Protein backbone atom coordinates (compact mmCIF):
# COMPACT_ATOMS: atom_id res chain seq x y z
CA UNK A 1 0.00 0.00 0.00
CA UNK A 2 1.56 3.24 -1.12
CA UNK A 3 2.05 5.82 1.55
CA UNK A 4 0.30 9.13 1.24
CA UNK A 5 2.50 12.11 0.97
CA UNK A 6 1.48 15.00 3.14
CA UNK A 7 0.14 17.88 1.12
CA UNK A 8 2.12 21.01 1.19
CA UNK A 9 0.18 23.84 2.78
CA UNK A 10 0.13 27.01 0.85
CA UNK A 11 -0.18 30.12 2.88
CA UNK A 12 -1.47 33.27 1.36
CA UNK A 13 -0.13 36.62 2.24
CA UNK A 14 -2.54 39.27 3.51
CA UNK A 15 -2.37 40.99 0.13
CA UNK A 16 -3.24 37.75 -1.68
CA UNK A 17 -6.14 37.13 0.71
CA UNK A 18 -7.49 40.64 0.03
CA UNK A 19 -7.12 40.05 -3.70
CA UNK A 20 -9.05 36.75 -3.49
CA UNK A 21 -11.77 38.43 -1.41
CA UNK A 22 -11.96 41.36 -3.84
CA UNK A 23 -12.27 38.96 -6.79
CA UNK A 24 -14.99 36.98 -5.02
CA UNK A 25 -16.91 40.14 -4.10
CA UNK A 26 -16.63 41.47 -7.68
CA UNK A 27 -17.89 38.14 -9.05
CA UNK A 28 -20.77 38.20 -6.56
CA UNK A 29 -21.71 41.76 -7.52
CA UNK A 30 -21.66 40.89 -11.23
CA UNK A 31 -23.85 37.84 -10.61
CA UNK A 32 -26.26 39.91 -8.48
CA UNK A 33 -26.51 42.67 -11.09
CA UNK A 34 -27.04 40.13 -13.84
CA UNK A 35 -29.80 38.42 -11.85
CA UNK A 36 -31.39 41.78 -10.94
CA UNK A 37 -31.36 42.88 -14.58
CA UNK A 38 -32.86 39.55 -15.63
CA UNK A 39 -35.56 39.90 -12.96
CA UNK A 40 -36.39 43.49 -14.03
CA UNK A 41 -36.65 42.36 -17.64
CA UNK A 42 -39.00 39.54 -16.61
CA UNK A 43 -41.17 42.04 -14.72
CA UNK A 44 -41.22 44.38 -17.72
CA UNK A 45 -42.01 41.51 -20.09
CA UNK A 46 -44.98 40.50 -17.88
CA UNK A 47 -46.24 44.07 -17.78
CA UNK A 48 -45.85 44.47 -21.52
CA UNK A 49 -47.72 41.18 -21.98
CA UNK A 50 -50.47 42.43 -19.62
CA UNK A 51 -50.74 45.71 -21.54
CA UNK A 52 -51.11 43.76 -24.79
CA UNK A 53 -53.83 41.62 -23.18
CA UNK A 54 -55.63 44.70 -21.90
CA UNK A 55 -55.52 46.33 -25.30
CA UNK A 56 -56.56 43.19 -27.21
CA UNK A 57 -59.53 42.81 -24.89
CA UNK A 58 -60.21 46.53 -24.43
CA UNK A 59 -63.60 46.64 -26.13
CA UNK A 60 -65.05 43.64 -24.29
CA UNK A 61 -63.58 44.74 -20.93
CA UNK A 62 -64.97 48.23 -21.42
CA UNK A 63 -68.40 46.83 -22.26
CA UNK A 64 -68.23 44.55 -19.21
CA UNK A 65 -67.30 47.42 -16.92
CA UNK A 66 -70.10 49.62 -18.29
CA UNK A 67 -72.78 46.93 -18.23
CA UNK A 68 -71.98 45.07 -15.02
CA UNK A 69 -74.97 44.56 -12.75
CA UNK A 70 -72.94 45.68 -9.76
CA UNK A 71 -71.65 49.18 -10.45
CA UNK A 72 -68.74 49.80 -8.10
CA UNK A 73 -69.06 53.58 -8.41
CA UNK A 74 -72.71 53.76 -7.31
CA UNK A 75 -73.39 50.61 -5.30
CA UNK A 76 -73.63 51.13 -1.56
CA UNK A 77 -72.90 48.32 0.87
CA UNK A 78 -76.43 48.76 2.32
CA UNK A 79 -77.93 48.29 -1.15
CA UNK A 80 -75.91 45.15 -1.72
CA UNK A 81 -76.81 43.78 1.72
CA UNK A 82 -80.50 44.48 1.06
CA UNK A 83 -80.31 42.61 -2.24
CA UNK A 84 -78.54 39.71 -0.53
CA UNK A 85 -81.14 39.65 2.28
CA UNK A 86 -83.95 39.48 -0.27
CA UNK A 87 -82.20 36.47 -1.73
CA UNK A 88 -81.61 34.83 1.66
CA UNK A 89 -82.86 31.47 0.46
CA UNK A 90 -79.72 31.16 -1.67
CA UNK A 91 -77.01 28.92 -0.31
CA UNK A 92 -73.88 30.38 1.29
CA UNK A 93 -71.74 29.52 -1.72
CA UNK A 94 -74.10 31.51 -3.94
CA UNK A 95 -73.58 34.52 -1.64
CA UNK A 96 -69.86 34.05 -2.13
CA UNK A 97 -70.40 33.90 -5.88
CA UNK A 98 -72.34 37.19 -5.81
CA UNK A 99 -69.58 38.81 -3.76
CA UNK A 100 -67.01 37.52 -6.24
CA UNK A 101 -68.99 38.95 -9.17
CA UNK A 102 -69.29 42.29 -7.36
CA UNK A 103 -65.54 42.42 -6.75
CA UNK A 104 -64.78 41.39 -10.32
CA UNK A 105 -67.01 44.15 -11.70
CA UNK A 106 -65.40 46.72 -9.38
CA UNK A 107 -61.87 45.64 -10.33
CA UNK A 108 -62.65 45.69 -14.04
CA UNK A 109 -64.14 49.18 -13.78
CA UNK A 110 -61.15 50.45 -11.81
CA UNK A 111 -58.66 48.97 -14.28
CA UNK A 112 -60.54 50.29 -17.30
CA UNK A 113 -60.82 53.77 -15.77
CA UNK A 114 -57.04 53.72 -15.22
CA UNK A 115 -56.36 52.51 -18.77
CA UNK A 116 -58.66 55.21 -20.18
CA UNK A 117 -56.85 57.89 -18.20
CA UNK A 118 -53.44 56.62 -19.36
CA UNK A 119 -54.69 56.60 -22.96
CA UNK A 120 -55.77 60.22 -22.48
CA UNK A 121 -52.34 61.14 -21.09
CA UNK A 122 -50.58 59.27 -23.90
CA UNK A 123 -52.70 61.08 -26.51
CA UNK A 124 -51.90 64.46 -24.94
CA UNK A 125 -48.17 63.65 -24.96
CA UNK A 126 -48.37 62.64 -28.64
CA UNK A 127 -50.25 65.83 -29.52
CA UNK A 128 -47.51 67.91 -27.84
CA UNK A 129 -44.74 65.99 -29.58
CA UNK A 130 -42.98 67.57 -32.52
CA UNK A 131 -42.67 64.14 -34.16
CA UNK A 132 -45.63 63.32 -36.45
CA UNK A 133 -44.99 59.59 -36.00
CA UNK A 134 -45.90 59.87 -32.31
CA UNK A 135 -49.47 60.95 -33.13
CA UNK A 136 -49.66 58.27 -35.83
CA UNK A 137 -48.60 55.63 -33.29
CA UNK A 138 -51.32 56.76 -30.90
CA UNK A 139 -53.88 56.75 -33.73
CA UNK A 140 -52.87 53.26 -34.85
CA UNK A 141 -53.14 51.94 -31.27
CA UNK A 142 -56.45 53.69 -30.68
CA UNK A 143 -57.99 52.64 -33.99
CA UNK A 144 -56.83 49.05 -33.67
CA UNK A 145 -57.82 48.41 -30.06
CA UNK A 146 -60.07 51.13 -28.66
CA UNK A 147 -62.18 53.00 -31.20
CA UNK A 148 -65.77 52.15 -32.03
CA UNK A 149 -64.85 51.12 -35.56
CA UNK A 150 -62.53 48.12 -35.86
CA UNK A 151 -59.75 48.18 -38.45
CA UNK A 152 -57.44 45.49 -39.74
CA UNK A 153 -53.71 46.16 -39.75
CA UNK A 154 -53.80 46.41 -43.53
CA UNK A 155 -56.58 49.00 -43.37
CA UNK A 156 -54.56 51.02 -40.87
CA UNK A 157 -51.52 50.91 -43.14
CA UNK A 158 -53.64 52.27 -46.01
CA UNK A 159 -55.33 54.82 -43.76
CA UNK A 160 -51.99 56.24 -42.59
CA UNK A 161 -50.16 55.78 -45.89
CA UNK A 162 -47.45 53.56 -44.42
CA UNK A 163 -46.13 50.04 -44.90
CA UNK A 164 -47.68 47.18 -42.94
CA UNK A 165 -44.42 46.67 -41.04
CA UNK A 166 -44.62 50.32 -39.91
CA UNK A 167 -48.06 49.62 -38.43
CA UNK A 168 -46.61 46.65 -36.52
CA UNK A 169 -43.76 48.84 -35.28
CA UNK A 170 -46.20 51.62 -34.35
CA UNK A 171 -48.28 49.17 -32.31
CA UNK A 172 -45.17 47.81 -30.61
CA UNK A 173 -43.82 51.26 -29.75
CA UNK A 174 -47.19 52.64 -28.66
CA UNK A 175 -47.82 49.60 -26.46
CA UNK A 176 -44.40 50.05 -24.83
CA UNK A 177 -45.19 53.72 -24.11
CA UNK A 178 -48.61 52.79 -22.75
CA UNK A 179 -47.04 50.10 -20.54
CA UNK A 180 -44.83 52.78 -18.99
CA UNK A 181 -47.89 54.90 -18.26
CA UNK A 182 -50.07 52.09 -16.94
CA UNK A 183 -47.43 50.54 -14.68
CA UNK A 184 -45.29 53.58 -13.85
CA UNK A 185 -41.53 53.52 -13.41
CA UNK A 186 -41.33 49.72 -13.60
CA UNK A 187 -42.86 49.94 -17.06
CA UNK A 188 -40.03 52.21 -18.22
CA UNK A 189 -37.01 50.20 -17.12
CA UNK A 190 -36.80 47.94 -20.14
CA UNK A 191 -38.85 49.73 -22.75
CA UNK A 192 -37.17 50.74 -25.94
Cβ–Cβ under 8 Å, residues 187 and 180: yes
pTM of the model: 0.62
Q: Are the C-beta atoms of residues 70 and 105 closer than 8 Å to each other? A: yes
Residue 171 pLDDT class (50, 70, 90 cuts): very high
What pLDDT digit, counting tens, does each position of 115-160 carry? Answer: 999 999 999 999 999 999 999 999 999 999 999 999 999 999 999 9
pLDDT, tens digit, 9 for 90 and up, residues 95-107:
555 566 667 777 8
CA 17 vs. chain centroid, Å, equals 47
Per-domain residue ranges for the chain? 51-64+107-187
Q: By three-state DSSP, how is residue 148 classified?
A: coil
Averaged pLDDT of the chain: 79
Phi-psi category of residue 11: left, alpha or beta, with phi > 0 → left and psi -120 to 50 → alpha: beta
Amino acid sequence: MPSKKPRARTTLSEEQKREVIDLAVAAGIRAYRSEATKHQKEIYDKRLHNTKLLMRNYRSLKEHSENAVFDAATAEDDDVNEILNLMSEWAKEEDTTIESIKKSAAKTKLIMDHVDEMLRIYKAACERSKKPEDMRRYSVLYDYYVGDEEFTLEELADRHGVELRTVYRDLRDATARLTALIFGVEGVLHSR
